[in-house]
Amino acid sequence: MSVTTVAADQTICAPLPVLGRNVTVPLVTGGEVTYAALDYAASAPALQRVWDDVAAYAPYYGSVHRGAGYLSQLSTDLFENARKTVADFLGCREGDQVVFTRSTTDSLNLLAAALPADCQVFVFETEHHASLLPWRDARVTYLNAPRTHQQAVQTLERALADRTASNEEGHGPALVCVTGASNVTGELWPVRELAAVAHAHGARIVLDAAQLAPHHAVSVADLDVDWVAFSGHKLYAPFGSGVLAGRADWLTAAEPYLAGGGASRKVTRREDGGVDVEWHENAARHEAGSPNVIGAYSIASACKALTEAGFDTLVAREQYLIEKVKSGLADVPEVRILSLFGDDAPRVGVISFVVEGWNSSHFAAALSAEYGIGVRDGLFCAHPLVRTLLGSDPQTQGECGAPEAAPGEKSLNAIRVSFGAGTPDEHVERFVNAVRELVSDGAKWRYRTEDGRCVPAV
């Protein structure tokens, strides 16, 4: 692997090659510039390795688990080998299942559909909507946003202890859902400690690793979580696939997530005119329909690429970029970085902030139109958390995208910059310089609101 010297005693690996690294975009002020993709937390660009692997397989694409022909056999082997690669990447235990889904959201909705009767779910209000909302048909206890790792552990401890104490005759199953890294602040959560508390009280725990898995090694066994969910499109494999991996018992006992071919092992007509179905007991039970073999293969390719690059090396380089951004923003007094656990809390390459005197949608639009920098603005599909961080009324209405607010108007939203293994130094340096210039000199162009987005005025 190539390296770049950044200090006398430190070397950092070069960014991994990704698609789009040479794409140029027009500037509203004239000319073009190489696009700086700094919205990895929404969807990371595809690794060149992933793209190449998919392109090499594409001519051999065939139906999975369906055909006797050579291409079908090859595709089936590739699909099942991808499952094994993902299991190894996640450090799964013997007996754990790896189910291929569409995304993290789909994975957690699948688990929600598999909850045993009378299961109680505990979830912090700080979660992304993908892990906050699927449990609405269960008995849900929403936990207040903690301000330290210790407070997070104590909050869950009290909630689970109260659950036990309130039911003298015993209690049914329980599930804790927690993120590994916040999609708003990038801050890491004390997953191992929360898992220990959950298990001490007879509860299970599912880890939303959508933002964690692309940045840090994730081991189901080491973290002692029961399930982990993540998306391919955040793991440099944007081909419409996701993963739910972990314990098999609840998944095997549940009705199939989707009814159809692939999930069924045997279907027979009854004398009364109905049908009897015998469902698969392995991962296929929840993978009805023709599997997304390209999506699964792309995730496996990304898992291999990240493993071969080495997470220790990737984390070191990302920390270097994080410090570049944080120190650059610290030099601009008008900028406030959003944080639950404090400025020094460990995080992945996700940083959200607000700028005094600026509507965040206006600021993000200027970064794009005048500097060729793509960031995210809004509430990031984590409305309760962003409202808490901005000190607003928890009941305030909001949308995932930019709010209906003109440039300069006060509104409930923030700006998020995010990056990862494919981000060049120049992108974060251009971003920091752009923030300084916009704050000191203002935008060079006029902007207006169109269809809920702030856009350059023509």
Residues labelled catalytic:
381
| Residue recorded with tokens 């909630």 | 159
Identity at 407, one-letter amino acid code: P
**Residues 6+ away with beta carbon under 8 Å from 98:** 83, 86, 87, 90, 92, 243, 244, 245, 283
State how far the Cα of 268 lies from the Cα of 346, in Å rounded to an integer: 56
Enter the tokens of residue 45. 């660009």
Q: 200: how many CB neighbours lie within 10 A of its CB?
A: 11
Q: Do 179 and 127 contact (CB within 8 A), yes or no?
A: yes
Three-state SS string over the chain comes to CCEEEEECCEEEECCCCECCCCCEEECCCCCEEECEECECCCCCCCEHHHHHHHHHHHHHCCCCCCCCCHHHHHHHHHHHHHHHHHHHHCCCCCCCEEEEECCHHHHHHHHHHCCCCCCEEEEECCCCHHHHCCCCCCEEEEECCCCCHHHHHHHHHHHHHHHHHCCCCCCCCEEEEEECECCCCCEECCHHHHHHHHHHCCCEEEEECCCCCCCCCCCHHHHCCCEEEEEHHHCCCCCCCEEEEECCHHHHHCCCCCCCCCCEEEEEECCCCCEEEEECCCHHHHCCCCCCHHHHHHHHHHHHHHHHHCHHHHHHHHHHHHHHHHHHHHCCCCEEECCCCCCCCCECCEEEEEECCCCHHHHHHHHHHHHCEECEEECCCCHHHHHHHHCCCCCCCCCCCCCCCCCCCCCCCEEEEECCCCCCHHHHHHHHHHHHHHHHHCCCCCEEEECCEEEECC
Please count the CA atoms within 13 angstroms of the CA of 439 that sit on its side-chain side.
Answer: 19
User: What's the chain's Rg over C-alpha atoms?
Assistant: 23
Q: Do 123 and 143 contact (CB within 8 A), yes or no?
A: yes
275, β-bridge pairs: 269
